[in-house]
Amino acid sequence: MKRCRVVLHVAVAAALGLLLIYSATSIAAELVKAKDGSGIVGYKDTPVLPWCGYHVHDPDRPAPPKVTPGQRRSAPSDAIVLFDGENLSKWQPSDWKIAEGELIAVTGNLSTRESFGDCQLHLEWQAPDPPVGGDWDHGNNGVVLMGLFEIQVFDTYTTPLYPDGQAASVYGQTPPMVNACRPPGQWQSYDIIFFAPVFRNGKLEGPARVTVLHNGVLVHHNQEIHGPTGHRIMPKYDKPIPAKLPFSLSAHNNPVRFRNIWIRPL
């Protein structure tokens, strides 16, 4: 009986913690579960994305099937090495730290000193094992191209999340074609080919596009990005965007680790 009470107290504390997280972020909407019984949760009171017919963060959007990923690759000779385990000289000041040759997220965005537009980007990341924090923090981070367009970093090997918020999704817009996540504690890789949006005379001539390989598995191919990404928003290009802006990594209450970050301007 004592063991049952302890488990119950832990479950209640976890539930209260999750409630406090959503209260603190001023999200009035109620999370709902997918109709298929998969355990995926999301929202049904958000805008409907006109190109697919699903709500933003819709739990009923078809989830990407899981596949087994391959291995990582090393930097090519013409790459700009942004992090090699030694220092953060290529990045703007932050409280992120280096330990054992690995970059560890602390708080806020970590942004490059140099600006980039069209590029090929490689990085490796690792979610904590065991998972740290509440479900909505498990491995939570983001690869934010030009500081505007997020490719999600998240432990969706462990945590069921709305498909357009899973690892390697174009956040809030397009799920990956498959869920190629490794378990937490294992290194994962992103290889990203990105083309910045093009504006002429202040008007959008061509949207941003992205191709992504997650652990060597193609998860986006020349995918249109419908505007700057964000939580619970309808994306749009409502103002001109410079051809180049700093690239960022985005901390979100979780000590996600990174290594072997390099970029090739195209």
Is residue 28 very low, low, confident or very high in pLDDT (cuts 50, 70, 90)?
A: low
Give the number of other Cβ atoms within 10 Å of residue 78's Cβ: 8
- Please report the pLDDT score of residue 8 as a whole number: 40
Give the number of other Cβ atoms within 10 Å of residue 151's Cβ: 26
Per-residue pLDDT of 56-98, as tens digits, reads 999 999 999 987 776 556 678 899 999 999 999 999 999 999 9
Whether 189 has a pLDDT exceeding 50, the answer reads: yes
Between CA 262 and CA 193 the distance in angstroms is 12
pLDDT, the chain, mean: 89
Phi, psi of 149 (to 5 degrees): -120, 110
Domains of the chain: 65-265 (2.60.120.560)
Between CA 102 and CA 72 the distance in angstroms is 16
Give the least confident one: 46-55, 62-71, 129-138, 195-204: 62-71
Q: CB–CB of 165/140 below 8 Å?
A: no
Whether 180 has a pLDDT exceeding 70, the answer reads: yes
Write the CA distances from 1 to 4, 5, 6, 7, 8, integer angstroms.
Answer: 5, 6, 9, 10, 11
- Please report the pLDDT score of residue 71 as a whole number: 56
Q: Where is pLDDT greater, at 75 or 197?
A: 197
What is the phi-psi region of residue 179: left when phi exceeds 0, alpha when psi lies from -120 to 50, beta otherwise?
beta
Q: Where is pLDDT greater, at 19 or 248?
A: 248
pTM of the model: 0.83
- Please report the pLDDT score of residue 11 as a whole number: 45
Whether 239 has a pLDDT exceeding 50, the answer reads: yes
Cα dihedral sign, 126-132-138-144:
negative
Q: CB–CB of 226/236 below 8 Å?
A: yes
Is residue 135 very low, low, confident or very high in pLDDT (cuts 50, 70, 90)?
A: confident
Q: CB–CB of 254/140 below 8 Å?
A: yes
Alpha helices in the chain (DSSP H): 2-24
- Please report the pLDDT score of residue 72 as a whole number: 57
Whether 124 has a pLDDT exceeding 80, the answer reads: yes
Between CA 101 and CA 89 the distance in angstroms is 14
For residues 246-265, give the mean pLDDT. 96
